[in-house]
Amino acid sequence: MLQDLIAFVEHGTLGELVRENDLLFPFIESVHVLAVCLVVGSIAVVDLRLLGFASVDRPVGRLMRSILPITVGAFGLAVAAGSLLFISHASKYLENRFFIAKITLIALAGVNMAVFHLIGARNLDQWENDALPPLFARVAGGLSLFLWVSVVACGRWIGFTMPPV
């Protein structure tokens, strides 16, 4: 059932187009890399603030409201471009352990962010001006930084472990 679905997207018009067109794949990959760079760099601004390493004179809430929309927009673009790359060789990506690791790490980064925003940031106004945020915020920031760096590493390793097309 799932395999049928994978075969369906891979051999559909869109998957075929990305796979067969010599310019389309590198173009989409460029957009993907550009968007990923913006995701990682912009979220690092927030993570480093949570760790108390940078932008310490900025209230955390205000910094997040300013920067995170950029992160979210870039993430949407990265996912859209990444999905197009994925469907062009869906079954090969699913057999690649670095691809699986990358998706898992992104999911973990999402969980980390959700936990921080739903539970941790509830009393944000009490500490958002502190140069050194409380421990749970520092843990969330450090975890996010570690996870995104790992996502980039896995992404790069996929290129070296995919069987030749």
Residue 104 in the binding site for another protein (CB under 8 A): no
CB of 36 vs another protein, minimal distance in Å: 7
- The length of the chain in residues reads 165
Tell the burial category of 71 from Cβ atoms under 10 Å away from its Cβ (0-12, 13-18, 19+).
Answer: buried
Placement of tokens 């300013």 in the chain? 66
Compute the distance between CA of residue 17 and CA of residue 24 in angstroms, rounded to an integer.
8
Q: CA-based angle 101:104:109, to the nearest 5?
A: 120
Tell the burial category of 77 from Cβ atoms under 10 Å away from its Cβ (0-12, 13-18, 19+).
Answer: middle
**Within 134-153, which residues bind another protein (CB under 8 A)?**
149, 152-153
Residue 77 in the binding site for another protein (CB under 8 A): no
Radius of gyration of the chain (CA): 18
Total residues contacting another protein by CB under 8 A comes to 29
Residue 157 in the binding site for another protein (CB under 8 A): yes
User: Which lies closer to another protein via its Cβ, residue 45 or residue 120?
Assistant: 45
CB of 12 vs another protein, minimal distance in Å: 24
2: its two tokens: 């799932």
Among the listed residues 66, 76, 110, 114, the single contact to another protein using CB under 8 A = 66
User: Which residues lie near another protein (CB under 8 A)?
Assistant: 22, 26, 29-30, 33-34, 36-38, 40-42, 44-45, 54-55, 58, 62-63, 66-67, 70, 149, 152-153, 156-157, 159-160
